[in-house]
């Protein structure tokens, strides 16, 4: 089974091979038949399959039986001939089902014409052929097709299960020293601490991109360290939420100082702290402070002078979007 685990069983060529093996084992499932009835091409198009499917619904029969009565469903010409050849192939494969798995696999790949189609295909098909060779080697260890398909189904069920929950270690933890209790507490995150009695909103704690934090609705506060994720109480969370929120990356920066009116625009000049340092603005123009300017000693006259110099350079321009080359 270990060799099967290493194979890319979800690839198209592998699923086609497995569907042919299921067909040889006597399967009449719609999904199995639909996957391979026109692989390789037999001239059985979508329209023909729709007619057969509608006929099966009207008659209350399975898709496989409806295929055997495709002429009654209104299928004619090449599609009808293709369906006939597929049903004959199925009979031949079912008769060989008593042989070892590898022999049946070789029979379905050769007898169906799928290998021949891949060998005359594009360069991409060389990888498909290699995968089928690896599959042939892997199934050699199975005595019969039933046992092989049972193992395949088991692998499919494992892959379809929900992924187990994982959690990152705190920076203060090491693999050598972590205990079972530590691991269980990590897996409990994000943790619900309680409910704010004033508004009934739930308070949770969790680790984020910028560190540990608590969250209530759209409001949040940073925690001092990761350990608080496991120890912080409801009372401590409420106390943190009652404090003013520290300025974050997206918070609006408060003005440093309000100055007088700009003599040219008549608007109030405001001294602000920006990402590139302090600047003065009248709401339309922004002017950075010079090297010799001081936040504490900046006068109205100097602020107006800085704005006049900036205004002389022209109105603020909008950032141009970079045009992509076609």
CATH of the domain at 77: 1.10.486.10
**Residue 322: inside a domain, yes or no?**
no
Residue 175 domain flag: no
Q: Is residue 248 situated within a structural domain?
A: no
pLDDT of residue 28: 87
Domain boundary among 160, 191, 218: 160
For residues 197 and 113, membership in a common domain is answered with no
Chain Cα centroid distance, residue 210: 22
Same domain, yes or no, for 156 and 7? yes
Regarding whether 261 and 237 lie in a shared domain, the answer is no
Query: Based on the domain organization, do 227 and 281 belong to the same domain?
Result: no
Q: Are residues 12 and 78 in the same domain?
A: yes
10 and 142 in a common domain: yes
138 and 207 share a domain? no
Q: Are residues 93 and 206 both part of a single domain?
A: no
Burial code of 252-263, b = ≥16 C-beta within 10 A, e = fewer?
eeeebeebeebe
Count up the domains in the chain and report the number: 3
pLDDT on residue 140: 86
Does a structural domain hold residue 57? yes
Element (H, E) at 311: helix 300-312
Quick one: 271 exposed, middle or buried, by C-beta within 10 A (0-12, 13-18, 19+)? middle
End-to-end CA distance of the chain: 51
Per-residue pLDDT of the chain (326 residues; tens, 9 = 90+): 557 777 888 889 999 999 999 999 998 899 999 999 999 999 999 999 999 999 999 999 999 999 999 999 999 999 999 999 999 999 999 988 888 889 999 999 999 999 999 988 776 788 899 999 999 998 888 888 888 888 888 877 666 656 566 677 787 778 778 787 888 888 888 999 999 999 999 999 998 877 899 999 888 898 888 889 999 999 999 999 988 776 554 445 667 888 999 998 899 999 988 767 789 999 889 999 887 788 888 899 999 999 999 998 887 655 444 444 44
Domain-embedded: residue 321: no
Structure confidence at residue 218 (pLDDT): 84
- Same-domain pairing of 99 and 141: yes
- The answer to whether residues 60 and 206 belong to one domain is no
318 in any annotated domain: no
Domain interval for residue 47:
3-160
Identify any residues that bridge with 268 across adjacent strands, giving them in sequence order: 261
pTM of structure: 0.50
Chosen domain end from 213, 242, 271: 242
Give the C-alpha separation, 221 to 241, whole Å: 7
CA angle (180, 181, 187) in 5-degree steps: 90
Confidence at residue 38, expressed as pLDDT on a 0 to 100 scale:
93
Residue 44 and residue 151 in one domain:
yes
DSSP one-letter string for 48-96: HHHHHHHHHHHHT--HHHHHHTTTTTT--HHHHHHHHHHHHHHHHHHHT
152 and 25 share a domain?
yes
- Last-in-domain residue among 125, 160, 195: 160
Residue 168 lies in a domain: no
Instruction: Say how far apart CA 213 and CA 195 lie, in whole Å.
Output: 16
């Amino acid at each position: 089974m270990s060799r099967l685990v290493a194979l890319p069983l979800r690839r198209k060529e592998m699923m086609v091979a497995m569907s042919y093996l299921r067909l040889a084992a006597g399967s009449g499932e719609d999904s199995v038949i639909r996957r391979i009835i026109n692989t390789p091409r037999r001239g059985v198009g979508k329209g023909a399959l729709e007619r057969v499917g509608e006929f099966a619904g009207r008659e209350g029969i399975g898709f496989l039986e409806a295929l055997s009565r495709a002429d009654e469903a209104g299928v004619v010409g090449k599609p009808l001939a293709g369906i006939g050849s597929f049903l004959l192939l199925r009979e031949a494969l079912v008769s060989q089902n008593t042989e070892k798995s590898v022999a049946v696999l070789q029979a379905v790949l050769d007898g169906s014409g799928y290998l021949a189609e891949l060998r005359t295909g594009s360069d991409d098909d060389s990888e498909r052929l290699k995968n089928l060779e690896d599959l042939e080697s892997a199934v050699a260890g199975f005595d019969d097709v039933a046992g092989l398909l049972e193992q395949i189904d088991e692998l499919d069920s494992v892959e379809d299960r929900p992924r187990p929950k994982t959690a990152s270690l705190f920076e203060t933890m090491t693999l050598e020293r972590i205990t079972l209790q530590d691991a269980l507490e990590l897996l409990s995150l994000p943790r619900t601490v309680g409910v704010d009695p004033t508004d009934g909103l739930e308070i949770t704690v969790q680790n984020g991109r910028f560190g540990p934090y608590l969250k209530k609705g759209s409001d949040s506060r940073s925690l001092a360290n990761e350990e608080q994720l496991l120890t912080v109480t409801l009372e401590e969370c409420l106390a943190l939420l009652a404090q003013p929120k520290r300025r974050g990356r997206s918070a609006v920066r408060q003005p440093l100082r309000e100055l007088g009116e700009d003599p040219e625009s008549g608007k109030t000049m405001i001294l602000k702290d920006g990402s590139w340092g302090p600047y003065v603005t009248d709401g339309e123009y922004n002017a950075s402070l010079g090297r010799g300017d001081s936040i504490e000693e900046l006068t109205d006259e100097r602020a107006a002078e800085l704005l006049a110099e900036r205004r002389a350079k022209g109105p603020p321009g909008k950032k141009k979007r970079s045009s992509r080359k076609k």
